[in-house]
Structure 1
Amino acid sequence: MTRVVLLGASPGPDTSPTGLRLAALPGNPTVAERLRSQLTSLDPRLATIESGDVAAALRALADVAETATENLFIIPENSVIHDELIYQITKAKRGALALVAKEPRPEVTEEEAQAQEDIVPIDEAEPEIGLGRLEGLPVRSRVGKSRVISVGTARHAVTRPNAVLLGPLHLSARNAPMLAQTCRELAAMADTFGEDDDLLQLIVFGLVRNGVSVGIRGRRDLFYRRVTTQEEVNEAGTEMAGMDEDRAKLNNAVKGADGFFTTYFVSTYSRFIARWAARRGLTPNQVTLISITLGVAAAACFATGDRPWMVLGGVLIYFAFVFDCVDGQVARYARKFGVLGAWLDATFDRFKEYVVFAGLAVGWVVSGNSDDIWILALAAIGLQSVRHLLDFSFGISNRRKPPSPLPTLALDAPDDRPLRQALTRRKVERSQGLRGVLKMWTKAGKFRAVHWARKMIVFPIGERFAAIAITAALFDARITFITLVIWGSVAAAYTLTGRLMRSLV
């Protein structure tokens, strides 16, 4: 469950969506009616806060945050937004996440580019009060690649602002107490803010200065816009109706961090199988059973030891993996999640691998070869079991590790210079020793070849199933097991080294 907070009109001109109708959408709903219908599935008892009086609004939000035991989703009531964007924001794993829009980089001539070389670097730039506007909001935020660096107001300068906070803000339950504290502190100094300061931006201003890491995301291929006039509503409705929300939903069903083989040889089409299956009522568990059946059939083919059946086994184990991907994609696309499904998926991934190992070993023996193959089979099973045990234990331990604290800054400080200086010192400290090595290795991932090499060296399930399918179809079980043991050993050494280093920093 998520606690939803609707913010009324921000300070300044009246932006109430009352009476503004989205004529381009079915049913001709008002902006407020549509947004409320979208959010009631998250929280049937929506909290609405009138924001004409900034101090009163901040105190009301503090009251909500103090009693919240769930995650919080805060959004202006004059928002026009895709359902899928609401879903993606509220399901994010970040402790705090804000939707942002960055100022577009203007196209410059060669002479202008030459002149820009003389611009003062950001580390030496003077803080400023952002006077530019983007989508009706003052540009008073500085965002980096993954989070909000600093936020300013009409009275608080920020170093080289480059973005606006569009509106939706998601906070985990653990950050609710800090939100309550921040809102009360902001309410006490409400008279220092300007008439054009946006309430959502003020909230993030306080959170960032109080050391909360606020992550960022853009709209990508989905729609969000705040509207204040019927003309803007008409434009928003037409633009949103022209966007393919279902395609964005389908793309989001595919994991973004998959390995090379899965990304290029499975996910390019498996998402369409997932949509076909979901629209015909197939559940993720039913798709999992299809994958298991194909895996057992592949093992049976391998157990014959005959070349044609070995080739067929390679094809079947490939499609067993395809449907292993499809079951998760169906779950994410159709929003059908369950403990049983997660357990089945994790458990039977191992079952498919191990029954295929057994089938390969049996096929080798029935073909008249030595039964020493079982030593290699057991080595492959043991190695894979140890790797999964290490993965599980490290994941549990890592979740218990508290996040690294960020620098803080007094809310009444006139600019963000001390905060940025503290962030620079933190960056230098984190670039030394083991942290420096890990950071350098992380940065190397911007090169495509390094990125995919790192994905493949850990021998994820896609690469393992591909190795089994190819080596079994073209060679024999002995080559398959040797490949699995050698590559698996390299992967184990690589991941264990990385995890030891991360545990020591």
Structure 2
Amino acid sequence: MTRVVLLGASPGPENSPTGLRLAALPGNPTVAERLRGQLTSLDPRLATIESGDVATALRALADVAEAATENLFIIPENSVVHDELIYQITKAKRGALALVAKEPRPEVTEEEAQDAQEDVVPIDEAEPEIGLNRLEGLPVRSRVGKSRVVSVGTASHAVTRPNAILLGPLHVSARNAPMLAQTCRELAAMADTFGEDDDLLQLIVFGLVRNGVSVGIRGRRDLFYRRVTTQEELNEAGAEMAGMNEDRARLNNAVKGADGFFTTYFVSTYSRFIARWAARRGLTPNQVTLISIVLGVAAAACFATGDRPWMVLGGVLIYFAFVFDCVDGQVARYARKFGVLGAWLDATFDRFKEYVVFAGLAVGWVVSGNSDDIWILALAAIGLQSVRHLLDFSFGVANRRKPPSPLPTLALDAPDDRSLRQALTRRKVERSQGLRGVLKMWTKAGKFRAVHWARKMIVFPIGERFAAIAITAALFDARITFLTLVIWGSVAAAYTLTGRLMRSLV
């Protein structure tokens, strides 16, 4: 469950969405009515906070945060937003996440860009400023980096080179709720220092960042969000939103963004459409998992014959067993049907399919008149893969227990963010030394496409394993398959174990 907090139209009560109606929707609902309808599935007892008086609103939000035992989703009441965007933000695993829009760069010629670049002062030397530019009706007073909000300013708090606005939706995890409550009370006590154009949600993030909370960022991407204050803006927003394919975005989101090379280019390019077809016909993720298991067992049976035509068919079947293994998760994410049983079945029978295929390959080798020494390789492959799964699981559990690295803090009444940015620079330098520096350098190397995919493939993920089994079994024999699995698996184990030892020591 998520605790939902609706903020009255911000800034100013004259922008209330009460009278703004979406004529294109059935029932001609107001913006607020539509938003409430979208959010009641998350929280049937929505908390509404009027934002006319900043101090009162902040104290009310502090009360809600103090009483909350679940994650909080804070959103302005005059928001027009896709359901899928709400879903994606509320399912984020960050301790705090804000929707942002970066200020667009002006279109200039190459010569003008070069001249401008020569005149730009490096950000480390830039002077903090009060952001006066506006974007979508909001003052540009936030500085965002690649993954989080770096600094936020107000009408009386300068920020170094602001480049973005905080659009509105803010998701705060339950563990950060006490800090949110404390921050709101501190902000309420200094409400007289804020300007009339300071946005309430931007003020909240201003306080969180200065109190050391890491606020992640995400953009709208292929989904829609906009705050509206007039009927004209609402009509424009409705037309723009209608022209966007929300279902396609939902389908794309059903595909994992961090899959391996083989899965990304040889499965996910079309498996998402199978997932949508299955979901629309009422197939559950568990039923799709069952299809994958049946195909895996059938592949093992084909391999067990030892005959070349059946080995080729086995390679085809194990490929499609993996396809449906991907589809079951995509159906779950697309249809939003999650369950403990499904997660357990998926993880357990992934291993079952691999091991039964190993057994089928070994049996096929023996029945073809070859030595039964193949079982040594089969057991080596099973043992190696079992150890890798155990290490993956244990490291994942230990990593989740590790507290996040603290960020520098800054007094809320500090007039600018100069000392905060200096502290962040020192932190960056410290984290670039020793093992941290090596790990950071290796992470940065991932921006090169070849390195990115090489790192994905070297760990020998399930997609690459199933591809290796299908190709080597169909074209060669079980001995080559097992040698490939053992050699590549050993390299992967050494690589991942080295990386995890290094990360455990920093």
Query: Shorter-chain TM-score category?
Result: over 0.9
Looking at structure 2, the residues matched to 166 and 37 of structure 1 have their Cα atoms a distance apart, in angstroms, of 20
Note the C-alpha offset of 1:143: 0.1
1:184 aligns with 2:194: no
Segments of 4+ moved more than 4 angstroms:
none
Deviations 1:180-211 (Å, cap 9, x if unpaired)? 00000000000000000000000000000000
Q: Are 1:25 and 1:237, in contact at CA under 8 Å, matched by a contact in 2?
A: no
Looking at structure 2, the residues matched to 373 and 178 of structure 1 have their Cα atoms a distance apart, in angstroms, of 60
Q: Are 2:12 and 2:51, in contact at CA under 8 Å, matched by a contact in 1?
A: no
Q: Are 1:24 and 1:238, in contact at CA under 8 Å, matched by a contact in 2?
A: no
Q: Are 1:97 and 1:215, in contact at CA under 8 Å, matched by a contact in 2?
A: yes
Deviations 1:381-416 (Å, cap 9, x if unpaired)? 000000000000000101111000000000000000
Match of 2:337 in 1: 336
Looking at structure 2, the residues matched to 363 and 410 of structure 1 have their Cα atoms a distance apart, in angstroms, of 70
Q: Are 1:73 and 1:170, in contact at CA under 8 Å, matched by a contact in 2?
A: yes
Aligned length: 505
Q: Are 1:259 and 1:463, in contact at CA under 8 Å, matched by a contact in 2?
A: yes
Looking at structure 2, the residues matched to 299 and 491 of structure 1 have their Cα atoms a distance apart, in angstroms, of 25
Deviations 1:236-290 (Å, cap 9, x if unpaired)? 1111111100000000000000000000000000000000000000000000000
Looking at structure 2, the residues matched to 110 and 77 of structure 1 have their Cα atoms a distance apart, in angstroms, of 42
Match of 2:448 in 1: 447
After TM superposition, the score normalised by the length of structure 1 is 0.99
Q: Are 1:96 and 1:213, in contact at CA under 8 Å, matched by a contact in 2?
A: yes
1:150 counterpart SS class: strand
2:187 counterpart SS class: helix
Looking at structure 2, the residues matched to 383 and 484 of structure 1 have their Cα atoms a distance apart, in angstroms, of 9
1:73 counterpart SS class: strand
Q: Are 1:380 and 1:485, in contact at CA under 8 Å, matched by a contact in 2?
A: yes
After TM superposition, the score normalised by the length of structure 2 is 0.99
1:459 counterpart SS class: coil
Note the C-alpha offset of 1:333: 0.2
Q: Are 1:24 and 1:241, in contact at CA under 8 Å, matched by a contact in 2?
A: no
Note the C-alpha offset of 1:108: 1.4
* Most deviating of 426-435 and 26-35: 26-35
1:164 counterpart SS class: strand
Looking at structure 1, the residues matched to 317 and 158 of structure 2 have their Cα atoms a distance apart, in angstroms, of 62
Which runs of no fewer than 5 residues in structure 2 stay unpaired? none
Note the C-alpha offset of 1:13: 6.3
Q: Are 1:79 and 1:224, in contact at CA under 8 Å, matched by a contact in 2?
A: yes
Q: Are 2:149 and 2:216, in contact at CA under 8 Å, matched by a contact in 1?
A: yes
Looking at structure 2, the residues matched to 93 and 476 of structure 1 have their Cα atoms a distance apart, in angstroms, of 44
Looking at structure 1, the residues matched to 117 and 471 of structure 2 have their Cα atoms a distance apart, in angstroms, of 54
Looking at structure 1, the residues matched to 57 and 28 of structure 2 have their Cα atoms a distance apart, in angstroms, of 30
Q: Are 2:212 and 2:409, in contact at CA under 8 Å, matched by a contact in 1?
A: yes
Looking at structure 2, the residues matched to 13 and 187 of structure 1 have their Cα atoms a distance apart, in angstroms, of 18
Deviations 1:53-87 (Å, cap 9, x if unpaired)? 00000000000000000000000000000000000
Deviations 1:77-120 (Å, cap 9, x if unpaired)? 00000000000000001000000000111121233223321211
Looking at structure 2, the residues matched to 292 and 155 of structure 1 have their Cα atoms a distance apart, in angstroms, of 62
Q: Are 1:288 and 1:323, in contact at CA under 8 Å, matched by a contact in 2?
A: yes
Looking at structure 2, the residues matched to 72 and 467 of structure 1 have their Cα atoms a distance apart, in angstroms, of 45
Match of 2:426 in 1: 425
1:117 counterpart SS class: helix
* Most deviating of 445-454 and 116-125: 116-125
Match of 1:65 in 2: 65
1:99 counterpart SS class: strand
1:498 counterpart SS class: helix
Q: Are 2:13 and 2:52, in contact at CA under 8 Å, matched by a contact in 1?
A: no
Q: Are 1:407 and 1:419, in contact at CA under 8 Å, matched by a contact in 2?
A: yes
Note the C-alpha offset of 1:305: 0.1
Looking at structure 1, the residues matched to 240 and 23 of structure 2 have their Cα atoms a distance apart, in angstroms, of 12
Identity rate of aligned residues, in percent? 96
Which runs of no fewer than 5 residues in structure 1 stay unpaired? none
Looking at structure 2, the residues matched to 421 and 199 of structure 1 have their Cα atoms a distance apart, in angstroms, of 27
2:167 counterpart SS class: strand
Deviations 1:118-161 (Å, cap 9, x if unpaired)? 21101100000000000000000000000000000000000000
Note the C-alpha offset of 1:446: 0.2
Q: Are 1:98 and 1:216, in contact at CA under 8 Å, matched by a contact in 2?
A: yes
